[in-house]
Structure 1
């Protein structure tokens, strides 16, 4: 089947066998109710401006036009082969998250309504019915990748990420409400006025939009991408997995880095910002393995069938071997998730926990031991990076990253001389911490699961 990128939006029935066409039409018939729900959401959007007294003209027109377009797209989406309309609904749902940030919506109800309706539109557009045309493009194959001992796309692997993302969304939304002046004060239990000073700093105000609201948008997209697709999405929806991984891993590290630079760039700590950073960090180990499985699939498609990475990214593929994992009883999903998360915690290497604690100490040392200047800034930054990579390396897939702590330890030892300091306490604290971190970087810890050809790299 010679598929191109445009076939994601425009399909011809003669391109597919009758069996696939029948499955597609049956699936579309089962989920077509979602488009009637979206029509209702379109009318809701149109009614928002007069109901809640919007003051920003751009938001008035945004909601009215978005509502009309949703209704029109939903009408066309009721037809099984109008994939462009089904995709248009998804894109418009994402736009509803972005609009309040771009137009700096003044009315709290407008901000909240756009987030609520945007979430529902994306849920009805792609989470419940799954990727438009998925029954046409998906190939039969295993749920558990060949050579793997578990399914990286199983719900018990994704539920923790979705949970953390929701918590992060509420934290970021609260800070965004302060930046957009919906509320006059912001809570900080540990650093006094620190959160307010960070959120109103020149660094935060240099963004064209509210940076906290941008964070809220990122978290809710994490939730939606975490929910999208079934337990075989690592091979049927690679683009979802890859974007999900990009949102959580590299963008998460960037977010964490921006937060840990607060004492250097702003001069204050922010409890809620640190909470958001920790949430972003905790999501990373749960995401890496699914991305690895998808990359392995794409490489397999390239090697065995000559399929380009671009094509397999959007249309997926299959592989021989692996297991057809039985679906778990939904009533036991939460219990299963907690049980496996607890067991995973017991398997985490003890040395990485110690490295994480030392990293926290390095961050706190300037305040506790009473030294400042460039060496203190170095400790704040190095300590946070040490914690970041210790948590990431707790994932068996990312276990080789623990060796980076050798470099971080060497920096702690050398920093007093490279940066210059006459404070003996700062010098000895860096030297001792660095030596201990280097020593703790070598033990691998337990590795129980199998991940095919990648196992040789987990050393």
Structure 2
């Protein structure tokens, strides 16, 4: 092979791109190819030396061309100018002039300092007006009528080249849209993806279904450039050629072919009026604040039909396409169906959208049929080593069990006692000494059983006993409430012991009951997700908030059970109740007395379960312990609804408000958006694992193997606190100003008597709706739950209408309600901030 200095030099701008690399590959055997780009191509490249260039800078262009002169001996056979700015918005952008037009001018000016034979400019067919009618082909002399910013910049650049090229021969290749077997043509890829996903927009079109555009295979494009370089001495000083396939498939025909290849059906396509389509696009982008791949300029030009005459390319360079879109389309679809995520990545579409598609599930099934990352014997050995290292944990439970056995005597539970009925008691119960004695017996029996099952669970084959130990701990936590004990000490000790026993029974690794297949891989991100929703960075703050709820609830329960004489409430009065304040009035109301146990105590018990269910398991628990994740979700989400419901009924049914109850409800509502993503991941996994052939109930209770290809687990707690806090605040949850404002409007509705002077029944309506608005807005801050914000639109409509159907508002209150209602409707429409996180196919639901 000759040295580079012995071969003619070819420059390629935009050489690091897809087409630049392909053209360089077609020239490298006979030419010395030098690339010019803003950066060298990613990865190693043994065929292309690259000089960095910034086309918007005179100094950068001058330096780069001078460097070319040094490497080429001052002579350049051809310059292939591919570099250009492009976007699909259709809007004018200063970069079109700075890069495409003025950048080309700079490059031509600098090249005049070298002995440059030829300048080939990559233009576009879009500079032409469409065919005047179907069956009529356009050629190089047809009118130029670029319809939007990008082709306009190309037409302006062609004019600059004609004026500035001097002694350099020029070739302008007006290219059709480029594709290959992986597609890589943006508009075709989007069309295929819409049909593959069966999106509603896949059935709609805004123009003439019989209209179409020509396309060009990548290899044919390379051939045209190579031929243009090879025949540079034979070409005229100025040449313009149309490069594309003479076959033009209509949009309607493409729809039918893609539908048949993907789903075995002729795809039905309905034509929408342009006005309606533009309105829908405007609503999607401007009102709902969502991205759309259908831009206004596309709608406007959707009737354009183009057929081309490539006679000049045949005559001048002997070029004719060897491929056709119609023949390549089946291979495109085959590759999509073979590996959807890979196909989406190559076409710059979001692969997580199809991570759970049928082909991907089939791939996962094949992976599960093969040997897993670690064999069962390797997993078993690792679990056994871990078990032997943590045999101290059951011994701690033995100590806690013995502590429970001794507690009744220490706390005097069997001693005679006289106590007034608990303030929140609403039914007949046994005398105080009998209730305490029953709790004492429960503690002794529970303690002995904890000792027995903790010791049994130490044996390798009897690890199931650890779950019985944990269940006993849960009962110990609940027992003081069931027996309405008068002993505050017993309640405190049993709560603490009840929390600790499950920790040492099942939370210290290895957690019993997880299948060996589930532990065979370290993969911690669900299929198509960009993060692990079970990461400790996600769960520790949730557990911390649950502790706040626990402390508040225990304080309220202590008053309900008669352990303390009063409650603190800085804001609300007792209404008509004969107590000190609103908190005491609410927790001793007929609603609270209707529960068989202290309802605040039951709330504390639920928060305790939240803490346990939130802390157990590792980053993989969405697939190793699906049942626990779903239990965690069921504890948080319904508990939040109940807490808000309790706030809702306080003014209309109880006649008082409770500050601490509001704090408790706020904590619970905040937990919802931070837990809902993990529940979604577990549900997705169960559905996908079942489709991949895993037994549903075994997977539900014992977990299952990773469905994704091998991953590298991300760091969790071993990183700076700032990253920890940022991930908790932003992973899966964000705070669009529309939702934050909705929360404030909800609070304003709850305070309309103070702010606007409203009174019942209008105030009761405002209070109920305000509570619901806050809960919905906070829940919608979770991206996976973002669509629930639309419920606030319906609530806003009611608020706006309520002054006309309910009394209790003066002119100011009525006007305020109407304004607040309309504002809620408007705020519920935009989607708001969307992070870069992905949710395994759920992305499309985040509207």
TM-score, structure 1 normalization: 0.92
Shift of 1:83: 3.0
Find the partner of 1:452 among 823, 831, 840. 840
Measure, in 1, the Cα distance between the counterparts of 2:520 and 2:605.
34
Shift of 1:419: 3.5
Residues 458 and 105 of structure 1: CA distance in aligned 2, closer, same or farther (over 3 Å): same
Structure with the largest fraction of helix: 1
- Partner residue, 1:156: 537
Question: Gaps spanning 5+ residues in structure 1: where?
Answer: 1-15
1:38 aligns with 2:425: no
1:271 aligns with 2:659: yes
Aligned ranges 1:278-427 → 2 under 5 Å: 278-305=666-693, 307-308=695-696, 310-317=697-704, 318-321=706-709, 323-330=711-718, 332=719, 334-341=721-728, 347-420=734-807, 423-427=810-814
Measure, in 1, the Cα distance between the counterparts of 2:549 and 2:748.
25
- Partner residue, 2:450: 70
Residues 347 and 134 of structure 1: CA distance in aligned 2, closer, same or farther (over 3 Å): closer
Deviations 1:309-329 (A, max 9, x none): x33211222212373323335
Deviations 1:32-70 (A, max 9, x none): 111111110111001101111114110110111111111
Indicate if the aligned counterparts of 1:156 and 1:333 stay in contact, CA closer than 8 A.
Answer: no
Higher Cα Rg: structure 1 or 2?
2
Deviations 1:344-396 (A, max 9, x none): 69941111111111111011002332222221111110011001111111111
Indicate if the aligned counterparts of 1:259 and 1:274 stay in contact, CA closer than 8 A.
Answer: yes
Shift of 1:208: 0.6
Indicate if the aligned counterparts of 1:218 and 1:247 stay in contact, CA closer than 8 A.
Answer: yes
Aligned ranges 1:51-130 → 2 under 5 Å: 51-54=410-413, 55=433, 56-130=436-510
Residues 196 and 333 of structure 1: CA distance in aligned 2, closer, same or farther (over 3 Å): farther
Find the partner of 1:258 among 646, 660, 666. 646
Indicate if the aligned counterparts of 1:86 and 1:132 stay in contact, CA closer than 8 A.
Answer: yes
1:241 aligns with 2:629: yes
Residues 137 and 104 of structure 1: CA distance in aligned 2, closer, same or farther (over 3 Å): farther
1:438 aligns with 2:825: yes
> How many residue pairs are counted as aligned between the two chains?
442
Measure, in 2, the Cα distance between the counterparts of 1:346 and 1:103.
41
Shift of 1:154: 0.7
Deviations 1:201-253 (A, max 9, x none): 11111111001111111111111111100011011110111000111112221
Measure, in 1, the Cα distance between the counterparts of 2:730 and 2:386.
38
Secondary structure of 1:321's counterpart equals coil
Secondary structure of 1:133's counterpart equals coil
Indicate if the aligned counterparts of 2:749 and 2:767 stay in contact, CA closer than 8 A.
Answer: yes
Residues 255 and 137 of structure 1: CA distance in aligned 2, closer, same or farther (over 3 Å): farther
Measure, in 1, the Cα distance between the counterparts of 2:538 and 2:700.
21
Residues 265 and 121 of structure 1: CA distance in aligned 2, closer, same or farther (over 3 Å): same
Secondary structure of 1:117's counterpart equals helix
Residues 92 and 342 of structure 1: CA distance in aligned 2, closer, same or farther (over 3 Å): closer
Indicate if the aligned counterparts of 2:470 and 2:505 stay in contact, CA closer than 8 A.
Answer: yes
Residues 345 and 153 of structure 1: CA distance in aligned 2, closer, same or farther (over 3 Å): closer
Deviations 1:238-284 (A, max 9, x none): 01110001111122212221222211111111000000000001111
Residues 173 and 230 of structure 1: CA distance in aligned 2, closer, same or farther (over 3 Å): same
- Partner residue, 1:47: 406
Residues 156 and 329 of structure 1: CA distance in aligned 2, closer, same or farther (over 3 Å): closer
Indicate if the aligned counterparts of 2:514 and 2:703 stay in contact, CA closer than 8 A.
Answer: no
- Partner residue, 1:27: 386
Aligned ranges 1:168-247 → 2 under 5 Å: 168-192=549-573, 193-247=581-635
Residues 65 and 347 of structure 1: CA distance in aligned 2, closer, same or farther (over 3 Å): closer
Deviations 1:301-343 (A, max 9, x none): 12121532x332112222123733233354x464433233455
- Partner residue, 2:179: none
Measure, in 2, the Cα distance between the counterparts of 1:353 and 1:67.
49
Measure, in 1, the Cα distance between the counterparts of 2:446 and 2:599.
24
Measure, in 2, the Cα distance between the counterparts of 1:210 and 1:137.
43
Deviations 1:124-164 (A, max 9, x none): 01111353133645243411122111111111111220110
Indicate if the aligned counterparts of 1:145 and 1:322 stay in contact, CA closer than 8 A.
Answer: no
Residues 326 and 17 of structure 1: CA distance in aligned 2, closer, same or farther (over 3 Å): closer
- Partner residue, 1:11: none
TM-score, structure 2 normalization: 0.51
Measure, in 2, the Cα distance between the counterparts of 1:92 and 1:419.
52
Indicate if the aligned counterparts of 1:146 and 1:319 stay in contact, CA closer than 8 A.
Answer: yes
Indicate if the aligned counterparts of 2:376 and 2:517 stay in contact, CA closer than 8 A.
Answer: no
Indicate if the aligned counterparts of 1:146 and 1:322 stay in contact, CA closer than 8 A.
Answer: no
- Partner residue, 2:233: none
- Partner residue, 1:3: none
Measure, in 2, the Cα distance between the counterparts of 1:224 and 1:289.
18
Indicate if the aligned counterparts of 1:282 and 1:391 stay in contact, CA closer than 8 A.
Answer: yes
Deviations 1:162-201 (A, max 9, x none): 1100111111111111111111011011114110111111
Indicate if the aligned counterparts of 1:375 and 1:416 stay in contact, CA closer than 8 A.
Answer: yes
Secondary structure of 2:486's counterpart equals coil
RMSD over equivalenced CA pairs, Å: 2.0
- Partner residue, 1:5: none
Question: Gaps spanning 5+ residues in structure 2: where?
Answer: 1-374, 414-432, 574-580
